[in-house]
Amino acid sequence: LIVRGNVHTKAFVVDRELATREEDFISPYGLTKTQERLSKLGVFTQVQIEPSQSRRFSETRDILVNVQERKSKSIAFGFGVASDDGVRGFLELAHQNLFGMARQVSLRTELRKDFEQSQLDHREILMYRQPYLLGMRLNPGLTAVLNQVQENPTFFLRRYSVLGTIEGKLWEKFFALTG
């Protein structure tokens, strides 16, 4: 297996997405499945997998995995005005390949000012995701939210919330562990 183009992404991140192992026969299905898994990570703009044209001293061929990494850091912002909702805006900072391990982290701040009720809403959202949990592809995530509302100088409300998520085919994972 020869991996090219992963400048920031660690080699084991690519290796764990292989649908088959190096010793196994590489089928067109296995190559396609591996390409899909690597694309789903969200850290590559391009993934190409193909058998090498060169043969060494044996009948086996190397597999070439050519990837092109996407920019991992981003800044997003926006604002708007509505007659019934007032002025609102947001700023988001994100990193899509934290430590080269396909982990994602983002911080988003949102502001809204309602002119009719003189209400100011302020929300901070911190999100973290990684592709694996306990060696299983479950895409676990953690989101923390701080929401502050100030309706007038005497009333101030602050709410905190934390949300944990797991995505994946849990039934298959459950039966694989218990079966």
pLDDT at 55: 60
Tens digit of each residue's pLDDT (9 = 90 or more) over 162-177: 999 888 766 665 555 6
> How much of the chain exceeds pLDDT 70, in percent?
84
d(CA 19, CA 4): 18
Tens digit of each residue's pLDDT (9 = 90 or more) over 75-132: 999 999 988 778 999 999 999 999 999 999 999 999 998 877 778 899 999 999 999 8
pTM over cut 0.75: yes
Q: Which residues of 7-44 are buried (b: 16+ CB within 10 A; e: fewer)?
A: eebeeebbeebbbeeeeeebeeebbebbbebbeebebb
Q: Over range 130-143, report the average pLDDT.
A: 86
Tens digit of each residue's pLDDT (9 = 90 or more) over 24-81: 556 777 788 888 989 989 999 999 988 777 665 566 667 788 999 999 999 999 999 9
pLDDT at 157: 86
Return the H-helix or E-strand segment holding 174. Answer: helix 170-178
Return the H-helix or E-strand segment holding 50. Answer: strand 44-55
pLDDT at 124: 95
